[in-house]
Structures are given as structure tokens and as C-alpha cells.
Chains A and B, each alone.
Chain A
């Protein structure tokens, strides 16, 4: 069962316009911010499938960037996430692809992020209603819910170090 609480159904409190394409994605970006305890210096964002088709209209790009900047789903600054990232000096590259190689769901995003000499590659899926989970970290399949207030991870263990 993917939905465990009444607040998975009534909620999240969020900025629009789409719980799956905006709110759920903020949580995926925020996962990386929480890993680094800082916004990355650089993030490569790959939108797959439905995300690839509609990310601009749903503000999915702003949502993932807002999350990477440490914002929560109800942060009204998400509207201006691009300006925020630019001012903070976070470099963002966005690409799209038809199908996700790792996970069969239309709402998937792969983010490769760097902070100092640390590097992490994360796959996230937004399941609808703002509920999302991480399904891949550094090519290893995982199953970590990231929406709501249950983030049980020892984050430091997950980061790889970039040889460069």
C-alpha cells in the first residue's frame, strides 16, 4: 500500500499546480538537499515520460529546483525557484527522455548532483497526491518514502565521493 495516512489523501499543503508534478517533486529535490545539508553546486535533472512532456507547464522544473534549494512543498518561493538558484550560484542542467531506464512509472526524474567533492545520483518517482519515493541511489535500487514526515535515513552513508 502506497497510501498510509489520511494526510496522504488530504494534503499536502502545497503550492500549485500539480501534486504529482509539483509537490511530489519538491520532496525528491529536498531529499538531495537533506543528504548534502546544503544545496548542490550543480544538478543535472533528467525528466522522464510524462514529466518530460509537461514539466514546464506544471512548474516541475521549479519544484525540483526549489527542493534542491531546501524548500518545502508549501514554500511560496517555489514560484521563483530559478531566480533563487541563480542567486545562490547553483548550476542547473535540464534534459528530457521518453522512458526511465530504472523504474516503470510516468512520473520519474533522475537527478545527479554535486556538492564540493561529493556526488550522488538519485532516481525519484512521484506516485500522485504528493506522495513520492526514491527508487534508486547511485545505480542501486532502493525504496525510500520521502513525502510526509518520515525520513528515516542516515544520509551520509549514501553519498559517493567524486574522484575528480
Chain B
């Protein structure tokens, strides 16, 4: 029975079993749940399919969220990328568009897949469907990519946290970006070691990020942080694929994220009492919405 408690153990398992990170997750899930590999694979495929639908629907939907403070940006981004003018090119450009599409859908209370949370649901579909389109990675490989991502997220979630309320945005967008970075590496033929370095490098870049949603909504600044998360994931993946290592081992980075999250004041952990939520504009939005809620309910 495999149980993975750390990135160190994960890499040992990969070496021992001569497996990828994704394959280790698939094996562990089978061990733990008693389900057939094909059943588990199909369950993950269903999640990928839902993500694909969110991307397709979201990139065409320019409607505004019920709050009135988000929506319409993914259509703008798609137009811009399609004109071929994007400074960051098609690979990162498409990832940003798709990520926007899913995060905007989330704000509209449409169906999405939490990866690992709804607040960070844009990042993985963003990078996955961009490398599907631009690097010709087949959909079945993307399903394996989701096993890679979930293995990395599994270690992070059990050693630290993945929700903004518990650990700030570093735990939420930070974790998703870290998972995405490792997944890109594995899908592009990097070694498990490189994937874990990419995970560490991405997470380090987002340490300390606070969770400060305007009016408590998962919209401002969450949606754009998802978008930026995709480009950090690609950068971290490239750094690792170049053979550059994280000087601080991934497990220690995760532990640091945990320690920072514990020390972070409550105001900056999804309570909408600090950070951008407390700006003049943030407060105005809150008051406007609060008046509306009081009238409706």
C-alpha cells in the first residue's frame, strides 16, 4: 500500500516504481479506494471534460456576474490573442484566456471543477487546454496531467493548506500554480525531480500572498490572480526544464507556506477585512452590494 506524505517520498516512489508522478497517484488511488484503474481514469476524464466545457462556454460568454464587478474580460482576451499581438505569445496567451473564462464562469455560479479550490479553478484548465492546442498534447495525456496535479496538490494539502481562509491566497492560487508548474513539466517530458522543482519554484514566487477579496467575492482580485498564475506556472516549468533546481527543497517551501499562513492575520485570510478589500473602491463596492442584498433578502 503506497502512502505519500511528502515530495521526498513521492520522488522515492517514482524512482522505485520507475513511474511518473501521475502514475503514482493513479496507483495510490487504486490502492486506497479499491477501484479499478480504468474507473478512476474515467472519473478524472469526466472532470477534464467539465473543465473543457467551462473553457468553451466561458470564452464565448461576455455576460456580467450577478455582483456586477466581473465578466466580459475573457472575450476581450481571446480577441486580443487571436489578433496575434500578445507579447507573451499563444502558449501563455491562450492559457490566460482560458483561465479567465473559467474564473469568470465560477463567479457566475456556473459549473466548474475545483482545482484544488473554486477560487483557483482557472489555472489548471488554462495551462492544460493551452498545451493541448499549442503543443499537440492529446486529451488522454491531459487526464494523466490531472493525476500529476492532484498528486502534487495532495502533498501540499496534507502538509499545509489549500484554502484562502486557512492560509491566504498563497495557499489557494499559490498551490494551484505550483501544481500547474509541475504538471507542465511532466506533460512536456520532464523528470519527476524537475516537476517537483517547478512546483517549489512556483510556490516560492507566491509565498506571502494574502487573500483579500473585495466584498468577500471570489472575483477581485481572484480572477486576475488566476490568469497571472498560468504565466508563473509556465515560467517555473521552463526554469525547471532548463535543469535549474530550487535551492530550497519543495517540502521546506510547503512548510514555509504553512508557517506564513499561520502567522498571517485573520484580516488577510478571506474575511474581506484587509488588503484590496479595504481600499476606497473596495469599500464602495461592498457598500453598494450590501445595500442591494438588504433590499433583496
Show the binding face of A for B, using Cβ within 8 Å: 1-23, 49-50, 53-54, 56-59, 61-62, 74, 76, 78-79, 82, 105-107, 127-130
Taking a contact as CB atoms under 8 Å apart, the answer to whether A2 and B112 are in contact is no
Known: A6-B150, A58-B218. Contact between A16 and B165, CB under 8 A?
no
Taking a contact as CB atoms under 8 Å apart, the answer to whether B272 and A54 are in contact is yes
Taking a contact as CB atoms under 8 Å apart, the answer to whether A17 and B116 are in contact is no
Instruction: Please tell me which one of the listed residues B153, B179, B218, B293 contacts residue A17 in the complex, with CB atoms under 8 A apart.
Output: B218
Taking a contact as CB atoms under 8 Å apart, the answer to whether B269 and A13 are in contact is no
Ordered by A's residue number, 26 sampled pairs between the chains whose C-beta atoms are within 8 Å are A3-B157, A5-B32, A6-B40, A7-B47, A10-B149, A10-B153, A11-B47, A11-B114, A12-B113, A16-B108, A16-B112, A17-B109, A18-B218, A19-B117, A49-B271, A50-B271, A54-B213, A56-B216, A57-B289, A58-B217, A78-B109, A105-B166, A106-B166, A128-B116, A128-B165, A130-B118
Known: A15-B109, A18-B117, A56-B293. Contact between A9 and B149, CB under 8 A?
yes
In the complex, which residue of chain B has the Cβ closest to the Cβ of A63? B109
Residues of the A chain whose Cβ atoms lie less than 8 Å from the Cβ of B33: 5
Known: A11-B47, A79-B109, A129-B163. Contact between A57 and B216, CB under 8 A?
yes
A14 to B108, CA, bound (A): 12
Taking a contact as CB atoms under 8 Å apart, the answer to whether A17 and B165 are in contact is no
Size of the B side of the interface (Cβ < 8 Å), in residues, is: 62
Instruction: Please tell me which one of the listed residues A6, A16, A54 contacts residue B271 in the complex, with CB atoms under 8 A apart.
Output: A54
Taking a contact as CB atoms under 8 Å apart, the answer to whether B112 and A6 are in contact is no
In the complex, which residue of chain A has the Cβ closest to the Cβ of B149? A10
The answer to the question of B177 belonging to the interface, with a C-beta cut-off of 8 Å to chain A, is no
Residues of the A chain whose Cβ atoms lie less than 8 Å from the Cβ of B114: 10-12, 14, 19, 23, 129-130
Taking a contact as CB atoms under 8 Å apart, the answer to whether B118 and A23 are in contact is yes
Taking a contact as CB atoms under 8 Å apart, the answer to whether B154 and A128 are in contact is no
A29 to B31, CA, bound (A): 31
A59 to B154, CA, bound (A): 27
A61 to B216, CA, bound (A): 13
In the complex, which residue of chain B has the Cβ closest to the Cβ of A128? B163
Known: A10-B149, A16-B105, A20-B163. Contact between A128 and B117, CB under 8 A?
yes
Instruction: Please tell me which one of the listed residues A4, A8, A76 contacts residue B111 in the complex, with CB atoms under 8 A apart.
Output: A76
A97 to chain B, nearest CB (A): 14
A11 to B119, CA, bound (A): 12
A-B pairs, top 4 by smallest CB distance, nearest first, are A54-B216, A128-B163, A16-B106, A6-B150
B171 to chain A, nearest CB (A): 8
Taking A5-B29, A127-B166 as known contacts, 10 extra A-B pairs with beta carbons closer than 8 A to each other, sorted by chain A number, are: A3-B157, A4-B32, A7-B47, A8-B154, A10-B114, A15-B111, A16-B110, A18-B117, A53-B273, A56-B290
B283 to chain A, nearest CB (A): 14
The answer to the question of B233 belonging to the interface, with a C-beta cut-off of 8 Å to chain A, is no
List which B99-139 residues lie within 8 A (CB) of chain A: 105-119, 121, 124
A113 to chain B, nearest CB (A): 20
Taking a contact as CB atoms under 8 Å apart, the answer to whether B216 and A16 are in contact is no
Known: A50-B270, A54-B270. Contact between A9 and B216, CB under 8 A?
no
Taking a contact as CB atoms under 8 Å apart, the answer to whether B165 and A106 are in contact is yes
The answer to the question of B278 belonging to the interface, with a C-beta cut-off of 8 Å to chain A, is no
A49 to B150, CA, bound (A): 29
Residues of the B chain whose Cβ atoms lie less than 8 Å from the Cβ of A58: 216-218
Residues of the A chain whose Cβ atoms lie less than 8 Å from the Cβ of B158: 1-3
B207 to chain A, nearest CB (A): 18
In the complex, which residue of chain A has the Cβ closest to the Cβ of B163? A128
In the complex, which residue of chain A has the Cβ closest to the Cβ of B159? A1
The answer to the question of B236 belonging to the interface, with a C-beta cut-off of 8 Å to chain A, is no
In the complex, which residue of chain B has the Cβ closest to the Cβ of A12? B114
Taking a contact as CB atoms under 8 Å apart, the answer to whether B157 and A8 are in contact is yes
The answer to the question of B248 belonging to the interface, with a C-beta cut-off of 8 Å to chain A, is no
The answer to the question of B162 belonging to the interface, with a C-beta cut-off of 8 Å to chain A, is yes
A56 to B295, CA, bound (A): 13
